[in-house]
């Protein structure tokens, strides 16, 4: 197949959508960037900036903004969708009127729909006729991407055609692309890491140092990878760019929205106050709610998520929540069995008798 | 399949597979022809070491010895000839020793022969009452109109659930009764070796599939045969479970072989600009009160977990008397086998408008499915990796249809209720122990069982209304729990060696826990266990 010239469409003109459009333009593509707001369309097409989300960072001139969804959808074979999870389905439905089965849809949004824990790629599948569907996720803070800091990302899809074509468009001088077949894992990790990011923000905001952060990050990764596995994700994905990689970026960076939200909460703001303070959507709030709601059903213990949920929605004080977290039973690292829990008696008859006798003496 | 059509298919399959072999041999990482033949030889030799009961064992051994001798000193040109001979051997076997005369006679006899088999009437009774009405035994319902319409608009792959070797004659009859042309069908060799079955297999347009043959080349030939027959407009029958389901559950993990042949045929049809390129997959369920081979199947399921004997050569369905017993019961109890036709889906798993044949998205918008397989210039292309993803989605759609069109009968409903009650009563026991310990002691109060059946029925009714499953017409649909239990007991008391559930006074007992488990499994996958836990857990006096 011959590609006349590289073209791509991005749906959503927030910071990440704009950054992705810019990245692909830098890599040599002509990019249409769809957004509803006509003023911002104007701004991007004339001043080549998106001040609302990205301050005065210059956007590559090959990015052309539009508010015409049909025209944007018809422009390219590959469409990246970067819409906050709360509006994702509505826009995907509209997009469903404009796309055909040969087009490739990539979700760039990290979140769930709370009720059924629906992933963004599943929404694309449900609302459009498209089947060539994937997701992009990784340590990609929009501001740093715009400032040309080198980084890498994961494009995930069960269909290799999707990975290949998206990879060709996205990879550039400052972005390496890795492929992954585990779409579920990449999306789940991308979404869940935001919960840990909020917790990390709280932790930093309370003035704790690297020990505390490292504990939070490691144990956070353990619980979100367990949750991912329950949803059918591959455990290895948690250790990749979309899992550990993204976790390090968001938990360590003051640029992360979720991290910032956490720090505001630690400073004593309520969720409403913290959210009113910024125009950017912190996806972790919605994700915390969704994950807490489904953790019990899936049989996954998620203490950190529960703690974040208590701070966000039950107005618990971070200090109290921390005491509770620290006073949990001490456990074996991977099996989650409490250290002092009576072990099931196993082994030969003699071993059994001896174990029972020892136990009665307090061993 | 018509004889001429069948021959045309065979010729096409040979040339396609040969061409593909030659083509890939040219590639830098392709398999050279002599290696390919050797690999096939190796698989066949290995099979022949164990597969000694094969009716063509001696011939096969001689054939492959011959190949081995020739291969040793063959030039490049000769290797190609040897490969041709191997392909010829495989395709001839798939086609079978086909006698047009026998086929003609048999097709005329089929409509009469099958009811006789299923009704298992004595000749005397037959003389007194004439040939019975098959409609009394097999009930066909569901989206029959949709199936027929798809057969007009394109080529159909009918995909039934698979619990019994009786499925083939039953679905064969149903196809005939619905006024559809015979469907071609890949049947295991073991079905041909059984005297009762083989007659019907041939009449169903069956071709032979030897599941003992593991050579990749053989599998390629089989799949290409299905593909070509679909391209020739020949409707196909395919059991996506691959083998009879051992556990009694509605199958959810499907073999995708023929579904992918459907996608391939569709793409080829587009390339050839066929007038009716569409391939439609129509799932359907076969529903029995009692399953002929239930004892063997559940035994096999329990013995393994993972390493089932994939092919059971000796079970109830190979014993003529057992079949007669079984069918006799169908007649005596006025039991019906329900064939429920589901809604058509396309090879990508989209639902299809049953009138226009167009594929629809979830919001009912028409989809141009050609775009799934064409490139930006509109040229259809096969991309195996992409197509596997499509086929997996089609498989998921079929699995969903199976659950949706599963028809719940009294035996399953009552078995499920009693099993769950017993499970909660012996909550310390795992499934295997519960089966072994059995339902000993005082049994269960019949009144309590009826009451619990009522509660399960209510949950089923809700799901029926929501379109998640079907309740069998008649007693089950009526919701009269006492009558449902009574009907189930009547069935359970007849055919199986030990009654699955039996009533003594005001108590009911299960005398075969394996079968109780087997029949209960048909209701799994609907989330009933959890929803009804409080009801079924309640202690029974």
Contact predicate B158/B234, CB 8 Å: no
Does A245 lie in the same domain as A123? Answer: no
Q: CA angle, corner A55, sides to A54 and A59, nearest 5?
A: 60
pLDDT digits (tens, 9 = 90+) for B306-342: 444 445 555 666 566 666 666 666 655 566 789 999 9
Q: How many CA atoms lie within 13 A of A324 on its CB side?
A: 14
Q: In this complex, is the C-beta atom of A131 within 8 Å of any C-beta atom belonging to chain B?
A: yes
Domain presence at residue A333: no
Asked if residue B102 has pLDDT above 70, the reply is: no
Interchain CB distance below 8 Å, A131 and B390 = yes
A66 falls within a domain: yes
What is the reported pLDDT for B258? 81
Whether residue B499 contacts residue B492, with contact meaning beta carbons closer than 8 Å, is answered with yes
Residue B213 near residue B47 (C-beta atoms within 8 A): yes
Residue B390 pLDDT class (50, 70, 90 cuts):
very high
Q: Is A1 on the interface with B (CB under 8 A)?
A: yes
| Residue A176 predicted with pLDDT over 50 | yes
Partner B contacted by A93 (CB < 8 A): yes
Cβ neighbors of B210 (< 8 A, separation 6 or more) are B54, B93, B188, B189, B218
Q: Does residue A348 belong to any structural domain of this protein?
A: no
A193, A280, A317, A324: which one is catalytic? A193
Q: What local confidence, expressed as pLDDT, does residue A306 receive?
A: 96
Residue with tokens 């740093």: A144
pLDDT band at B381, cuts 50/70/90? very high
Q: Domain extents for chain B?
A: 3-93, 100-183+235-404, 407-536
Weakest mean pLDDT among A89-103, B152-166, B291-305: B291-305
Residues of A in contact with B390 (CB under 8 A): 131
Is the same domain home to A113 and A53? yes
Smallest CA-to-CA distance from A302 within A229, A239, A203 is with A229
Indicate whether A31 pLDDT > 80.
Answer: yes
Looking at residue B442, what is its pLDDT? 77
Q: How many domains does chain A have?
A: 2
Residue range A233-241: mean pLDDT, rounded: 95
Tell me, yes or no, whether A356 lies in a domain. Answer: no
How far A6 CA sits from the closest chain B CA (Å)?
13
Q: Are A126 and B362 within 8 A, CB to CB?
A: yes
Q: Report the C-alpha gap between A161 and B328 in whole angstroms.
A: 56
Q: Which residue has the tokens 């559930």?
A: B501
Q: Does B504 touch chain A (CB under 8 A)?
A: no
Residues 6+ apart with CB under 8 A from B9: B1, B225, B228, B229, B232, B234
Please indicate, yes or no, whether residues A146 and A49 belong to a single structural domain of this protein: yes
Q: Which residues are CB-neighbours of A87 under 8 A, at least 6 positions away?
A: none
How far is Cα B276 from Cα B298, in angstroms, rounded to an integer?
A: 43
Give the CATH number for residue A20. 3.40.50.720
Tokens at B317, concatenated = 């369905």
Q: Which pLDDT score, from 0 to 100, does residue B115 have?
A: 52
Give B231-251 pLDDT, tens digit per residue: 999 999 999 998 899 999 999
Residue A164 near chain B (CB below 8 Å): no
Q: Which residues contact B187 (CB under 8 A, 6 or more apart)?
A: B168, B201, B204, B206, B207, B208, B209
Q: What pLDDT was estimated at residue B431? A: 80
User: How far is the C-alpha of A308 from the C-alpha of A198, rounded, in Å?
Assistant: 7
Residue A293, in any domain of the structure = yes
- Among residues A285, A291, A315, the alpha carbon closest in space to that of A303 is found at A291
- Decide: helix, strand or coil at residue B205: coil
Higher pLDDT, residue B397 or B188: B397
Check A102 against B386: CB less than 8 A apart: no
Are the C-beta atoms of residues B491 and B390 closer than 8 Å to each other? no
Active site annotation includes A193: yes
Task: Return the number of other C-beta atoms located less than 10 Å from residue B56's C-beta.
Answer: 13
Q: What is the residue whose two structure tokens read 């021959």?
A: B7
Distance CA B216, CA B401 (A): 31
CB-based contact B417:B452 (threshold 8 Å):
yes
- Rounded Cα–Cα distance for residues B246 and A253 (Å): 54
Mean pLDDT of chain B: 85
Range A89-115 average pLDDT: 95
Residue of A92, A101, A124 best to disrupt the B interface, most CBs of B under 10 A: A101
Looking at the complex, does the CB of residue B376 fall below 8 Å from at least one CB of chain A? yes
Q: Among A116, A147, A181, where does a domain finish? A: A181
Torsion angle (degrees, nearest 10) of CA B492, B497, B502, B504: 150
Query: What per-residue confidence (pLDDT) applies to B526?
Result: 95
Q: How many CA atoms lie within 13 A of A353 on its CB side?
A: 3
Model pLDDT, residue B310: 44
Q: What are the structure tokens assigned to A196, written together? A: 């840990």
Interatomic CA distance for residues B414 and B502, integer angstroms: 12
pLDDT for B253-265, tens place per residue?
A: 999 888 899 999 9
Picking from A128, A161, A181, the residue at the C-terminal end of a domain is A181
Are residue A288 and residue A140 in the same domain, yes or no? no
Q: How far is A324 from chain B (nearest CA, A)?
A: 32
Q: Judge whether A331 lies within some domain.
A: no
Instruction: Choose the mutation target among A75, A97, A129 for the interface with B, i.e. most B CBs under 10 Å.
Output: A129
Torsion of CA A263, A267, A270, A275, to 10 degrees: -40
Q: What is the pLDDT of residues A140-163, one digit of tens each?
A: 999 999 999 999 999 999 999 999
Q: To the nearest whole percent, how much of chain A has pLDDT over 90?
A: 79
Same domain membership, residue A60 and residue A110: yes
Q: Is residue A340 part of a domain?
A: no
Which structural domain, as residue segments, surrounds residue A303? 185-326
Q: How far apart are CA A78 and CA A8, in angstroms?
A: 5
A94 within domain boundaries: yes
Based on the domain organization, do A57 and A90 belong to the same domain?
yes
Same domain, yes or no: A176 and A217? no
A159/B393 touch (CB, cutoff 8 Å), yes or no: no
* Same domain (yes/no): A61, A161: yes
Rg over CA atoms, chain B: 25
Q: How near does any CA of chain A get to the CA of B507, in Å?
A: 37
Owner of token pair 């019990």: A296
3-class DSSP state of B507: strand
Say yes or no: A161 and A211 in one domain. Answer: no
Q: Are residues A149 and A231 in the same domain?
A: no
Is B136 an interface residue toward A (CB < 8 Å)?
Answer: no
Q: pLDDT category, A105, cuts 50, 70, 90?
A: very high
The reply to whether A42 and A106 lie within a common domain is yes
For A279, which DSSP code? S
Claim to verify: residue A146 and residue A189 sit in the same structural domain: no
What confidence tier does B125 reach under pLDDT thresholds 50, 70, 90? very low
Tell me whether residues B386 and A126 touch, CB distance under 8 A: no
């Amino acid at each position: 197949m011959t590609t006349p010239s590289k073209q791509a469409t991005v749906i959503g003109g927030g910071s990440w959508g704009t950054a992705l459009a810019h990245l692909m333009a830098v890599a040599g593509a002509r990019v249409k960037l769809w957004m509803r707001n006509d003023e911002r369309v104007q701004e991007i097409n004339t001043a080549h900036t998106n001040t609302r989300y990205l301050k005065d960072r210059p956007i590559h001139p090959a990015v052309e903004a539009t508010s015409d969804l049909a025209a944007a959808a018809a422009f390219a074979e590959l469409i990246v969708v970067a819409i906050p999870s709360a509006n994702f389905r509505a826009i995907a439905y509209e997009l469903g009127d404009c796309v055909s089965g040969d087009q490739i849809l990539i979700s760039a949004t990290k979140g769930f729909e709370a009720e059924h824990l629906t992933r963004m790629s599943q929404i694309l599948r449900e609302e459009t006729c498209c089947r060539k569907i994937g997701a992009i996720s990784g340590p990609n803070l929009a501001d740093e991407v715009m400032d040309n800091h080198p980084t890498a990302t994961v494009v995930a899809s069960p269909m290799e055609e999707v990975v290949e074509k998206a990879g060709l468009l996205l990879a550039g001088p400052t972005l390496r692309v890795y492929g992954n077949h585990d779409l579920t894992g990449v999306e789940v990790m991308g979404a869940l890491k935001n919960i840990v990011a909020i917790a990390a923000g709280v932790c930093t905001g309370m003035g704790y140092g690297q020990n505390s952060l490292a504990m939070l990050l490691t144990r956070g990764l353990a619980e979100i990878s367990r949750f991912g596995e329950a949803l059918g994700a591959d455990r290895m994905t948690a250790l990749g760019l979309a899992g550990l990689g993204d976790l390090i970026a968001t938990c360590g960076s003051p640029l992360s929205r979720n991290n910032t939200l956490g720090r505001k909460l630690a400073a004593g703001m309520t969720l409403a106050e913290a959210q009113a303070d910024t125009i950017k959507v912190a996806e972790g709030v919605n994700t915390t709610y969704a994950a807490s709601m489904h953790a019990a059903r899936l049989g996954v213990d998620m203490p950190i998520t529960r703690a974040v949920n208590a701070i966000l929605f039950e107005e618990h004080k971070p200090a109290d929540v921390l005491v509770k977290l620290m006073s949990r039973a001490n456990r074996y690292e991977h099996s989650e069995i409490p250290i002092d829990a009576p072990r099931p008696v196993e082994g030969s008859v003699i071993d059994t008798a001896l174990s029972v006798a020892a136990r009665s003496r307090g061993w | 399949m018509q004889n001429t059509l069948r021959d045309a298919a065979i010729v096409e399959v040979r040339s396609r597979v040969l061409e593909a072999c030659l083509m890939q041999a040219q590639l830098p990482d392709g398999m050279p022809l002599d290696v390919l033949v050797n690999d096939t030889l190796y698989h066949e030799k290995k099979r022949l070491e164990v597969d000694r009961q094969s009716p063509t064992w001696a011939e096969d051994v001689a054939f492959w010895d011959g190949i081995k001798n020739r291969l040793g000193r063959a030039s490049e040109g000769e290797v190609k000839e040897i490969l041709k001979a191997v392909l010829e051997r495989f395709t001839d076997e798939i086609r079978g020793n086909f006698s047009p005369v026998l086929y003609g006679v048999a097709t005329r006899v089929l409509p009469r022969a099958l009811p006789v088999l299923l009704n298992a009437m004595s000749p005397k009774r037959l003389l007194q009452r004439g040939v019975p009405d098959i409609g009394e035994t097999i009930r066909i319902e569901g989206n029959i109109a949709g199936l027929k319409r798809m057969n007009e608009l394109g080529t159909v792959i009918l995909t039934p659930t698979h619990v019994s070797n009786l499925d083939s004659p039953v679905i064969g009859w149903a196809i005939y009764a619905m006024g559809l042309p015979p469907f071609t069908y890949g049947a295991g060799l073991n079905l041909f070796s059984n005297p009762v079955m083989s007659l019907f297999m041939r009449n169903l347009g069956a071709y032979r599939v030897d599941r003992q043959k593991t050579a990749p080349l053989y599998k390629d030939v089989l799949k290409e045969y299905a593909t070509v027959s679909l391209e020739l407009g020949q409707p196909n029958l395919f059991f996506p479970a691959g083998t009879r389901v051992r556990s009694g559950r509605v199958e959810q993990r499907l073999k995708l072989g023929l579904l992918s042949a459907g996608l391939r045929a569709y793409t080829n049809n587009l390339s050839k600009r066929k007038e009716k390129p569409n391939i439609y997959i129509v799932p359907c369920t076969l529903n029995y009160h009692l399953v002929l081979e239930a004892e063997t199947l559940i035994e096999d399921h329990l013995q393994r977990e993972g390493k089932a004997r994939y092919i059971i050569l000796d079970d109830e369905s190979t014993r003529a008397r057992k079949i007669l017993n079984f069918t006799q019961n169908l007649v005596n109890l006025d039991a019906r086998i329900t064939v429920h036709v589901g809604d058509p889906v396309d090879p990508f798993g989209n639902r299809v408008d049953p009138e226009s044949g167009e594929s629809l998205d979830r919001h009912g918008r028409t989809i141009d499915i050609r775009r799934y397989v064409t490139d930006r210039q509109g040229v259809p292309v096969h991309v195996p990796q992409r197509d596997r993803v499509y086929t997996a989605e089609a498989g998921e759609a079929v699995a969903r249809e199976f659950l949706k069109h599963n028809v719940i009968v009294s035996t399953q409903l009552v078995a499920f209720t009693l099993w769950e009650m017993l499970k909660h009563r012996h909550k310390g026991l795992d499934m295997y122990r519960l089966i072994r310990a059995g339902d000993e002691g005082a049994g269960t109060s019949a009144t309590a069982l009826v009451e619990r059946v009522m509660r399960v029925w209510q949950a089923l009714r809700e799901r029926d209304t929501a379109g998640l499953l079907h309740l069998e017409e008649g007693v089950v649909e009526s919701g009269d729990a006492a009558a449902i239990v009574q009907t189930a007991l009547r069935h359970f008391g007849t055919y199986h060696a030990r009654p699955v559930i039996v009533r003594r006074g005001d108590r009911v007992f299960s005398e075969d826990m394996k079968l109780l488990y087997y029949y209960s499994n048909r209701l799994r996958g609907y989330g009933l266990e959890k929803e009804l836990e409080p009801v079924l857990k309640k202690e029974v006096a």
